[in-house]
């Protein structure tokens, strides 16, 4: 859900971790995800690709779900906030564009699909890896929309959580599930529907 990038915090005490090792593991994971998919992602495959031991990988990420979450979510980042300068039209388009651009990346798309599968198999992972990120992102959008309402740019009846669901759901379905080919045109067409609705004026 998030859009930035960071490395996970070190676990426990002892000798400081080598950040180059973290980077090498993440790069290998991204390559495997992008070219072979989530099922092919394993600590053994990463160890073979990098020469880094499985024990070292496990110390950083306790499971491949945790590693895939790092790839999919990036560990941080913020929603675009342009409502003051570009109004609600610019805000919606920037939000759709951000999500579209992120999930256009093959490694992130594969990681996201894998995480959905992981949450079904182990529901506790959803609470650990996904819920905090989604909660923070929804709170960001609520604050942006609330400011838009205060500025007179957004109707008071607009539900920011519903807007969140529409944007994320529509883009992810098109990018990860739909048989329709992904296209940059979806940014404009989806933004127009969100902004104008579908009822004839």
Reported as a single tens digit per residue, the pLDDT across 182-198 is: 889 999 999 999 999 86
Architecture of domain 83-196: Orthogonal Bundle (1.10)
- Region 161-165 average pLDDT: 97
- Give the Å distances, CA to CA, from 86 to 134, 159, 160: 25, 20, 18
- Region 6-16 average pLDDT: 46
**pLDDT at res. 17:** 73
- Region 148-169 average pLDDT: 95
134: Cβ contacts below 8 Å, ≥ 6 apart: 1
Which pair of tokens denotes residue 175? Answer: 């990018």
Architecture of domain 19-73: Orthogonal Bundle (1.10)
**pLDDT at res. 1:** 54
Full DSSP string of 1-26:
------PPPPPSSSSPP-HHHHHHHH
**pLDDT at res. 97:** 96
- Region 32-44 average pLDDT: 97
Which pair of tokens denotes residue 19? Answer: 């950040």
Percent share of the chain, pLDDT over 70? 89
**pLDDT at res. 197:** 80
List the domain boundaries for the chain: 19-73, 83-196
Q: Do domains 19-73 and 83-196 have the same CATH topology?
A: no
Alpha-carbon distance 162 to 147, whole Å? 17
Model confidence, pTM: 0.85
């Amino acid at each position: 859900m998030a859009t930035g990038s960071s490395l996970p915090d070190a676990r426990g005490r002892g000798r400081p971790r080598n950040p180059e090792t973290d980077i090498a593991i993440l790069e290998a994971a991204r390559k495997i995800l992008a070219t072979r998919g989530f099922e092919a992602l394993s600590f053994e495959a990463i160890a073979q690709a990098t020469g880094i031991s499985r024990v070292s990988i496990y110390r950083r990420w306790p499971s491949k779900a945790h590693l895939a979450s790092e790839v999919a979510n990036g560990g941080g980042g913020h929603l675009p906030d342009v409502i003051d300068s570009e109004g609600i039209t610019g805000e919606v388009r920037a939000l759709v564009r951000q999500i579209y651009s992120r999930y256009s990346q093959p490694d992130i798309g594969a990681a996201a699909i894998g995480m959905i599968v992981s949450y079904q198999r182990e529901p506790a992972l959803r609470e650990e890896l996904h819920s905090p990120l989604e909660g923070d992102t929804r709170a960001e959008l609520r604050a942006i929309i609330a400011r838009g309402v205060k500025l007179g740019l957004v109707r008071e009846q607009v539900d920011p959580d519903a807007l969140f669901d529409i944007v994320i759901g529509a883009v992810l379905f098109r990018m990860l599930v739909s048989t329709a080919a992904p296209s940059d045109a979806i940014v404009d067409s989806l933004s127009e529907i969100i902004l104008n609705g579908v009822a004839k004026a």
